[in-house]
Amino acid sequence: MPVETEKKKQLFQLFTDMTGNTKIVEPMKKIHGTLRDSDAVEREIALIMREMLDQGVFKTKLKPIQMAKLVCAYHSGKNDTEIARELGDEKLSKTVARARVRMKLFRDLDFKMPFDQEKMIDLLQSEKTMKDISEELGISPSTLREYRHVLEAQADEEMDIYLERIRDVMEDRDLTEQMTASATRDTLGDSIDITEAELIDVT
């Protein structure tokens, strides 16, 4: 650890021990009070989702606010089961997966098919039944439907205008988080500087 950083850490600890409080608490309250929080982001996405549902361009048994939580949780790196738990029911994992794919929130695993994609596309465009196609590809009919949904969602442009609006909201959230992190670092630095100055006065 750099000498300067270690010195600041020691000064900060000494200041806390002497006064029982810290200069960081109040500035942090101001940061969270002025920048958009996660609840505000979820509400904004939920409004877009409600509009999509009302327009009939998206169908799911999940509520708009649940879809908003799904979007945020996906961007936080959570898998479908973890997202379902966050929504209050692990049994919703398949519903989450279908909604996620429909929203073009893809994962690498969605495209890891044990056969050539072009072959599946050709078979789906043929007059063969789903049962025949799944047997030829060596997968279950339910797995075939999941792969088909991925390809259909990838090609569908009907919801793109809504998805772009949601991406804008998420980009604003990311910017807010960056600003918060930067402001937190600045606040910590300012607080340490104040602490150091006060210590000089009392010593």
Token look-up 């409600």 returns 50
| DSSP three-state, residue 44 | helix
For position 38, what pLDDT does the model report?
81
> Quick one: which of 95, 29, 85 has its CA closest to 59?
95
Mean pLDDT of 15-35: 45
d(CA 201, CA 180): 31
Q: What is the mean pLDDT of the chain?
A: 80
pLDDT in tens, 136-159: 999 999 999 999 999 999 999 999
Domain boundaries defined on the chain: 36-104+159-175, 107-156
d(CA 191, CA 86): 36
Residue 37's pLDDT band, with cuts at 50, 70 and 90, is: confident
Q: Determine contact, residues 149/113, Cβ cutoff 8 Å.
A: no
